[in-house]
Amino acid sequence: MASFSNIWYEAMLIVGVILFLSILWAAYVSFLEKEARAAKIFLFTAIVLLLLFVSPWFFHAVWLNYFVEFVILMLFVAGFVFTLPIGNKSGWISPVPIKRIDERDTMFSRNELKRGSKDYENYYSKNPEKEKSDAVFRSKPGLLAKGAVQYNPFHFASADASFFTVAKFKNGVNGSVSEDKVKVDTNEITSYLKSWSKKLGAVDSGVTELQEYHLYSVGGRAERRNIPIKKQHQFAFAFTVEMQREMMTTAPASTVIMESAQQYLEAGRIAMQLAAFIRNLGYEARAHIDGNYEVVCPLVARDAGLGELGRMGLLMTPKLGPRVRIGVVTTNLPLVVDEPLNDYSFIDFCIKCKKCADVCPSKAISFEDSQVVDGVKRWQINQEQCFNYWSIIGTDCGRCVAACPFSHPDNALHNLVRAGIKRSALFRTAALKMDDVIYGRKPKPAAIPDWARISEK
């Protein structure tokens, strides 16, 4: 065997050390993330690599030296091939809806209908096919109900407290506008809103020009039911808030709806503050919050450059995937508009992945490619099957969100993977296979956090 002073062997040793430390770091990050399976796999891989790279110096076998050289060569070749910038469809444009959504057709609106009421009779006389399917969820306990499978009196009461609080915001989504209009610089005020929203707790934010298809055609919740919705503002300011991964990975347990409700509340709080601020400046503004949306939040956020719509029908964001809630403020305050991402890598990723469809307990997420729905090629979940399952377990499930590879934490390890996913179709394929190996094709729900463990006496 050649001397240790030989440059080639020293370089080989350095490469081995770098690889070992990198994978050891990945194991440490996984340990901090409480991903036991991933941490064990990374640690085992690091040890195997260490033994492989030091073996030529201990056993003095020429074939071992050649084998290590071959492994290094293959790693470099794989690194080069899998990061080639291919498969991104430059010029791809996010599909734009050609018709507006009637909020009365959403499951939350249909859930509010009471048998024997005029609204019930009117809706199902026009949509008789939906009455039979809706009878299924009406026969089940329902969200946050005592007889539900995931019932926990403390967690359900916590979630209901969050929904109760955000409902108290309802009368403040609109308000009087100051007669003293402050002149603003569009660039400065846009930057201020984005910075302040982040300080208030938002992850990302963006601006789009409000379009007709962003708005529901007709209201479907509470006192807004049956009232046509008209476009009154020129701009929409959209932002996201993070749903904590530790809570979401427990899905579909009772803790997941605690987190979901909490982030609906946080998004509502931030939207209310932003809207009030804008009205104080003398410009019209409306906050769109849980139970009181006039806009379809994912469409607004997509057009504001915050992500793309994925297989599960949710907004896929660059940093957190679908593990977000969205808040929107519509306004006539002049703002600088952001461009949509128009990033095909998200779509290609969802075409290949299908993990959300695999883990969906209600089989509401399609394994098929996107289809033309109302003139637009997109994915559409079976909302009836999804809501029926919610009504059985009492939570808003969240298994699809928890399992999505894009939902991993926003840190250096996962951002390196996200960068590769954005760059290369080959990397996307490799990353998905690795995600299945490291985290499991159907990852099991995580344990409820220790602080949330509480039982009736």
Instruction: Write out pLDDT tens, residues 409-438.
Output: 999 999 999 999 999 999 999 999 999 999
Say yes or no to pLDDT of 184 above 80. Answer: yes
Answer whether 383's CB lies under 8 Å from 110's CB: no
pLDDT at 456: 79
Phi, psi angles (nearest 5°) of residue 178: -60, 135
CA-wise closest residue to 368 among 357, 383, 382, 359: 357
> Token pair for residue 78?
């794989």
Q: What is the CA radius of gyration of the chain?
A: 25
pLDDT at 4: 43
Separation of alpha carbons 337 and 252, rounded Å: 37
Separation of alpha carbons 272 and 393, rounded Å: 31
- pLDDT class of 69 with cuts at 50, 70, 90: low
pLDDT at 79: 75
pLDDT at 56: 63
Give the pairing of strands 308-309 and 315-316. antiparallel
Q: How far is CA 166 from CA 105, 241, 387, in A?
A: 23, 15, 21
Instruction: Write out pLDDT tens, residues 198-254.
Output: 999 999 999 999 999 999 999 999 999 999 999 999 999 999 999 999 999 999 999
Phi, psi angles (nearest 5°) of residue 308: -130, 160
Question: Domain-by-domain residue ranges, the chain?
Answer: 7-81, 103-439
Q: How far is CA 402 from CA 12, 318, 326, 446, in A?
A: 39, 16, 17, 10
DSSP assignment of 185-203: -HHHHHHHHHHHHHHHT-S
pLDDT at 193: 98
Summary mean pLDDT of the chain: 92
Instruction: Write out pLDDT tens, residues 10-51.
Output: 666 677 788 889 999 999 999 999 999 999 999 999 988 877
- pLDDT class of 5 with cuts at 50, 70, 90: very low
pLDDT at 61: 60
Say yes or no to pLDDT of 53 above 80. Answer: no
pTM: 0.92
